[in-house]
Structure 1
Amino acid sequence: MNPNKALWEKGDFTQLSRHMRQSGVALVDTFGITQNMNVLDLGCGDGTTAIPEAKLAHTVLGVDIASNLVAAGNKRVAEEGLTNCSFQEGDATALTDLKDDSFDMVVSIFGAMFAPKPFDVAKEIVRVTKPGGKIVMGNWIPGDPTLVAQTLRISSAYTPPPPEGFVSPMLWGIPEHVVERFEQAGIKKENISCVKDNFTFNPPFSPAEFLARFRTFYGPTMNAFEAAEKNGKAAQLQQELEDLFNSQNKSGDSNSTHITATFLRVTVTK
């Protein structure tokens, strides 16, 4: 099986994404989506940004490599009675079902960054975007002191080295790499913008319970604990992540969680 597909089908990301809804809506409200637009949401999960986009756009297509997340997204669409939004399986490195110049906007928030072959990803995103259209990406930043970047950093320290030729998804959080990838896909440097932005997690329970969701349902953290258990280091990993989650919590209440994570917001005009 495709390793990336296996990673994101391994757990159940919906157990985390349901606590990202509020920030997803707030983020989408800044994209400038209008009711005549056809939007592609790539690496859409179960619709954290795709579903609010559908409430503003003409049509929204969500594409994700994980079949369980596609099914969860289509279930949410049905529950909300949206007729202009659908989800389907697809690989960000090869969007073979999608025609050139199909979408007014392509969005990928913490999604396409995890696909391998980043230059292929940039090329495909640009290919399916209409001339004059807009691309918006949200990518976690390597070395950033906030929650998600640090969770991924700590987790990677407990997992075996990646295979030869592996390109870290975190490089999508470095502006120079973003520019290089989109320039190679035919975009002028002056049409690429990178700024830092924030995304907030608001689960109505303790940081310890939030960490438990990561440990049980988030593929990268699940892999880290499996490797740590084999090496007798699971307790050490647990303690590192507990310290991180507790220190990041700004709710002022140990029984609720309010954690803001910083990401790189990329805007490209084709």
Structure 2
Amino acid sequence: MNPNKALWEKGDFTRIAQSMRESGEALVKSLGITKGLKVLDLGCGDGTTALPEARLGADVLGVDIAKNLVEAGNKRAKEMGLTNCKFQEGDASGLHELKDQSFDLVVSIFGAMFAPKPFDVAKEMVRVARPSGRIVMGNWIPNDPTLVAQILKISSSYSPPPPEGFISPMTWGIESNVIERFGAAGVPKEKISFARDTYVFNFPSAPSKLVDEFAKYYGPTMNAFEAAEKNGRAGDLKKELDVLFLNQNKSKGKDTTSIPATFLRVTVAR
């Protein structure tokens, strides 16, 4: 089995995605979506950005590598009565089932960055975007002091070393890498713009409870806990994450969580 597919089917990312809905909607509102726009939402999960795009009138195709998330997305679209949004399985490194130049907007918010072949990912996003279209990515930033970069950094310190040839998804958060990857796909750097943006994780319970959700349902953190358990260090990992989430929580109440995380927003004009 594709190890990336196994990673994202391992837990239940819908549980984490619930804390990401508000920022997903806010981000989509900034994309200038109009009725009838053809949108590809790549690495879409269960539709945190795809469904708000459809609510604004776009014709949306959500593509994700995880079968369980595709099923969850289609279920959510049906429950919302959104006939202009459908989800299907696919790999961001090879979108063979999608035709050239078929989308006005390609969106990937913390999705395609996790696919293992970044140059192929850039090439495919460029291929399926129309010449007058746009690509918008949201990518976590390596060594950033905010939440997600720190979760992944802490988790990796408890995990076995990655296989030879592994390219960290966090490399998508480095501007020069983004320029190089899209450059190899034929996009000049003048057509690529960057901005630092903020995504907020909102959760209706204490920060330690959100840590529990990551431990039970978020593939990379689940793997870290499994590795830590074997070394008798699961308690240490939990403690480190509890401190991280507590220190970053901006909520005024003890029993609610609101944690901002910085990301790199990439816009590519075709």
Instruction: Report the TM range for the smaller structure's normalisation.
Output: over 0.9
Tell me the amino acid that sits aligned with residue 87 of structure 2: F
Does the alignment pair 1:108 with 2:104? no
- What pairs up with 1:64-213 in 2 under 5 angstroms? 64-213=64-213
Give 1:236 shift: 0.8
Does the alignment pair 1:222 with 2:222? yes
Q: Distance in 2 between matches of 1:134 and 1:171?
A: 21
CA contact (8 A) 1:39 1:57 kept: no
Give 1:63 shift: 0.1
CA contact (8 A) 1:42 1:111 kept: yes
Give 1:195 shift: 1.1
Aligned residue-pair number: 270
Q: Deviations over 1:187-245 (max 9, x none)?
A: 01100011110000111110010000000000000000000000111111111101000
Instruction: Tell me the equivalent position of 2:15.
Output: 15
Q: Distance in 2 between matches of 1:194 and 1:116?
A: 22
Q: Distance in 2 between matches of 1:182 and 1:89?
A: 24
Structure 1 stretches lacking a partner, 5+ long: none
Tell me the amino acid that sits aligned with residue 217 of structure 2: F
Secondary structure at 1:238's aligned position in 2? helix
Q: Deviations over 1:140-197 (max 9, x none)?
A: 0000000111000000011110111000000000000001000110001100011110
Tell me the amino acid that sits aligned with residue 13 of structure 1: F
**Runs of 4 or more off by more than 2 Å in structure 1?**
none
Give 1:18 shift: 1.1
Give 1:57 shift: 3.4
Q: Distance in 2 between matches of 1:71 and 1:36?
A: 24
CA contact (8 A) 2:33 2:58 kept: no
- What pairs up with 1:19-98 in 2 under 5 angstroms? 19-98=19-98
- What pairs up with 1:241-260 in 2 under 5 angstroms? 241-260=241-260
Instruction: Tell me the equivalent position of 1:267.
Output: 267
Secondary structure at 1:232's aligned position in 2? coil
Q: Distance in 2 between matches of 1:56 and 1:128?
A: 22
The TM-score normalised by the length of structure 2 is: 0.99
Give 1:36 shift: 2.8
Structure 2 stretches lacking a partner, 5+ long: none
Q: Distance in 1 between matches of 2:57 and 2:220?
A: 33
Give 1:58 shift: 3.4
Tell me the amino acid that sits aligned with residue 135 of structure 1: I
Q: Distance in 2 between matches of 1:201 and 1:95?
A: 30
Tell me the amino acid that sits aligned with residue 222 of structure 2: M
